[in-house]
């Protein structure tokens, strides 16, 4: 019985070893520091405040090029969508600021983890929603 199990395990390992080149390229890119292409989405559900979002920190302590994602300013009731290429997977922190005209209302930090399933080259990718569960201040909910 043990010999049979050993031979089955050995044959399955050898089979997996020989089929390794046939694995799709998207599955090979599961490593941590692999860049992927993502779709960013942010919605300002406020009635009368502007929402500004900027990158506060990136994974691995690398600088985030401002040309890829400058500070996003979203008017009340609007949304923002952009595809960005070559983003490293990992945890990003975004600072968001609420303003009513020139008056500062509130700010906060939101952490978002970018995974392989966010890659827009995959058929069932998931967009990166920057405003998911972002609290709207009370003064931005009414006129």
Q: Write out the residue range of the structural domain in which residue 107 sits.
A: 30-140
Average pLDDT, the chain: 81
Query: 13 lies in a domain?
Result: no
Structurally, how many domains does the chain consist of? Answer: 1
Residue 41 forms part of a structural domain: yes
Q: Is the pLDDT of residue 13 over 50?
A: no
pLDDT at position 141 over 90 = no
Residue 93, domain member (yes or no)? yes
pLDDT bin (cut points 50, 70, 90) of residue 97 is very high
Domain annotation covers residue 7: no
Minimum mean pLDDT range among 61-70, 110-119, 125-134? 61-70
Residue 60 lies in a domain: yes
Beta strands at 128-129 and 35-43: parallel, antiparallel or unpaired:
parallel
CATH number assigned to the domain comprising residue 43: 2.60.40
Q: How far apart are alpha carbons 136 and 131 in whole angstroms?
A: 10
Element of type H or E holding 36: strand 35-43
In a domain, residue 84? The reply is yes
The fraction of the chain above a pLDDT of 70, given in percent, is: 77
Residue 16 domain-assigned (yes or no): no
- Of 39, 96, 88, 31, nearest to 65 by C-alpha is 88
Residue 70 lies in a domain: yes
């Amino acid at each position: 019985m043990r010999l049979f199990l050993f031979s089955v395990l050995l044959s399955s390992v050898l089979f997996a070893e020989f089929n390794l080149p046939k694995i799709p390229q998207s599955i090979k890119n599961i490593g941590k520091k692999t860049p992927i292409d993502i779709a960013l989405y942010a919605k300002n559900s406020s009635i009368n405040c502007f929402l500004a979002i900027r990158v506060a920190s990136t994974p691995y302590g690398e600088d985030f090029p401002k040309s890829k994602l400058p500070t996003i300013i979203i008017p009340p009731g609007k949304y923002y969508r952009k595809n960005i290429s070559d983003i490293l997977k990992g945890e990003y922190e975004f600072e968001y600021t609420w303003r009513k005209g020139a008056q500062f209302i509130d700010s906060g930090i939101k952490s978002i983890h970018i995974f392989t399933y966010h890659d827009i080259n995959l058929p069932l990718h998931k967009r990166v929603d920057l405003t998911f569960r972002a609290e709207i201040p009370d003064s931005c909910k009414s006129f």
